[in-house]
């Protein structure tokens, strides 16, 4: 039995929240730990000869396979590209494995492969090796994709939790919650689903430019599962510092907000697939913002808060639009739509 009171894996263990953290801490790390893994970054930092490399992997299981703004193929490329990008690397090559359920239609596979190809081209990476496996009908849900990626760390770039200091600013490159609400709305068949679109995009062109043209960037992460709330809580926990964000400054598409309100979700907890959070020194923040807004993937970029001294336990606090304050918790793992 674990602290969750279950001897089995729950869906919430994969939700990116507290349960995912526990799975890692109680089960994976005790058996597999080493210095590189212990950093628990989006990518592993490796030094091979004189080269500084970043290496990462991620698996993609999404329902529906095709959604407004993307599909599982695009996601599999962009997600892995983004893990490299926020580690301060320029992605070079990807490996890809597919697990396909018997009976899966070729037409759908072709569509997915086409968007993988398109995604790779757009992000200037090559799929250089791969594998396919098929399993009996019922042993997998249509198709699962795993990608691994390798990138070269940009010269002079040194990002990490330990670089973050009180007074640093928090920057995001655009609206939050778009991907998660698109998926949920399509899954739950919400009527305004057609107005929602995933933000799924590869961020390397923007992050590389940012890192090359501006100093003062301390840390970056892509707020995927668990959303902005999970990412900021991870930062607070790892640094021992608190974070203050301002609701009025967080870019949110009104339709995303409406969908979230309807289902009782907190947009801060909803997944993104084309966003990064950057912690930036206060001196560099204006130029970073300018660079972002000048790029197609950062038009709605904004500074949403800052790193503050923590009084007792490090926490993330939200200054609400109406002048109130509240805590932003680490999401539990899996948000459930409410009843009414």
Partner 1 sequence: MLERIHNAQGLIDSACRKLGRQINIMEVCGTHTVAIFRNGIRSILPKTLKLLSGPGCPVCVTDQSYIDIVLQLADREDCLIATYGDMIRVPGEKGSLETRSAKANVKVVLSTEDALQLAKDNPGKTVVFVAVGFETTTPATAVVVKEAAEQAVENFYILAGHKLVVPAMCALVSEKNHNIDAFLCPGHVSAIIGYGAFAEVVDAFSRPCVVAGFEPVQIVEGLAEICRQLADGKAQLKSVYKAVVTETGNVSAQKAIAECFEPADGYWRGLGKIPKSTLRLKDKYSRFDAFKRFGLIETPSEDTTGCRCGEVLCGLIDPQQCGLFETKCTARTPIGPCMVSSEGACAAWYKYGRDKKT
Nearer to partner 1, 48 or 340 (CB): 340
Q: Two tokens at 311?
A: 């009084």
Residue 112: exposed, middle, or buried by beta-carbon count in 10 A (0-12, 13-18, 19+)? buried
Pair 158, 52: CB distance under 8 Å: no
Contacts of 201 (CB under 8 A, 6+ apart): 78, 273, 274, 297
Of 121, 218, 205, residue with least CA distance to 169: 218
Q: How many helices (H) and strands (E) does the chain have?
A: 10, 14
The nearest distance, CB 102 to partner 1, in angstroms, is 20
Which chain residues interact with partner 1 by CB under 8 A?
3-6, 8, 10, 18-19, 188-189, 261, 264, 266, 312-313, 315, 318-327, 329, 332-333, 335-340
Question: With respect to partner 1, which residue has the nearer C-beta, 211 or 268?
Answer: 268
Using the minimum distance from each CB to partner 1, give the nearer residue, 50 or 313: 313
Q: Between 122 and 257, whose beta carbon lies closer to partner 1?
A: 257
Nearest distance from C-beta of residue 9 to partner 1, angstroms: 11
Residue 25 or 325: which CB sits closer to partner 1? 325
Contact 256, 204 (CB under 8 A): no
Rounded to the nearest whole angstrom, what is the least distance from the CB of residue 32 to partner 1 in the complex?
23
Which C-beta is closer to partner 1: that of 39 or that of 317?
317
* Alpha carbons 281 and 59: distance in angstroms, whole number: 33
Name the phi and psi angles at 328, rounded to 5.
Answer: -110, 115
Extract the tokens encoding 236: 């607070």
Long-range contacts: 10-13, Cβ < 8 Å, 24+?
10/333, 10/334, 11/333, 11/334, 12/332, 12/333, 12/334, 13/333
Our CB check for partner 1 shows the closer of 3 and 34 to be 3
Closest approach of Cβ 56 to partner 1, in Å?
Answer: 28
- Provide the minimum distance between the beta carbon of 284 and partner 1 in the complex, in angstroms, as a whole number: 30
Please report how close the Cβ of residue 334 comes to partner 1 at its closest, in angstroms.
9
* CA dist list (Å): 162 to 201, 211, 282: 28, 18, 17
- In angstroms, what is the minimal distance from the CB of 266 to partner 1? 7
Give the C-alpha separation, 116 to 76, whole Å.
8
Closer CB to partner 1, 299 or 321, in the complex? 321
Q: How far apart are CB 306 and partner 1 at their closest, in Å?
A: 18
Contact 268, 229 (CB under 8 A): yes
Of the candidates 137, 124, 155, the one whose C-alpha atom is nearest the C-alpha of residue 53 is: 155
Peptide bond into 64 cis (omega under 30): yes
Give every CB contact of residue 298 below 8 A, 6+ residues apart in sequence.
Answer: 173, 174, 206, 291, 292
Give the shortest CB-199-to-partner 1 separation in angstroms.
23
Q: Residue 167 or 337: which CB sits closer to partner 1? A: 337
């Amino acid at each position: 039995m674990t602290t969750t009171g279950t001897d089995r894996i729950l869906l919430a263990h994969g939700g990116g929240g507290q349960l995912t953290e526990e799975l890692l801490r109680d089960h994976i790390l005790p058996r597999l730990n080493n210095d590189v893994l212990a950093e628990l970054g989006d990518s592993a930092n490796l030094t091979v000869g004189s080269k500084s490399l970043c290496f990462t992997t991620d698996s993609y299981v999404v329902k529906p396979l095709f959604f407004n703004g993307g599909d599982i193929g695009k996601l599999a490329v962009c997600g892995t590209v983004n893990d490299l990008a926020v580690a301060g690397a320029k992605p070079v090559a990807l490996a890809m494995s597919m697990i396909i359920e018997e009976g899966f239609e070729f037409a759908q596979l072709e569509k997915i492969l086409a968007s993988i190809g398109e995604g790779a081209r757009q992000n200037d990476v090559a799929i250089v090796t791969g594998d396919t496996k098929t399993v009996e009908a019922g042993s997998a849900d249509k198709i699962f994709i795993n990608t691994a990626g390798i990138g070269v760390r940009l010269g002079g770039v040194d990002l990490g939790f330990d670089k973050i200091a009180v007074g640093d600013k928090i920057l995001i490159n655009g609206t939050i919650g778009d991907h998660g609400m698109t998926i949920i709305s399509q899954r739950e068949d919400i009527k305004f689903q057609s107005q929602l679109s995933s933000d799924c995009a590869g961020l390397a062109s923007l992050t590389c430019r940012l890192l090359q043209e501006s100093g003062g960037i301390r840390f970056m992460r892509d707020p995927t599962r668990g959303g902005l709330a999970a990412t900021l809580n991870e930062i607070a926990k790892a640094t021992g510092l608190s974070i203050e964000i301002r609701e009025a400054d967080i870019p949110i598409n009104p339709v995303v907000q409406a969908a979230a309100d309807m289902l009782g979700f907190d947009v801060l907890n909803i997944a993104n697939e084309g966003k990064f959070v950057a912690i930036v020194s206060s001196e560099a923040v204006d130029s970073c913002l300018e660079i972002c807004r000048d790029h197609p993937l950062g038009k709605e970029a904004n500074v949403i808060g800052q790193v503050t001294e923590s009084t007792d336990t490090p926490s993330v606090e939200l200054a609400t639009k109406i002048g109130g304050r509240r805590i932003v918790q680490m999401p539990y793992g899996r948000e459930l739509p409410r009843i009414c």
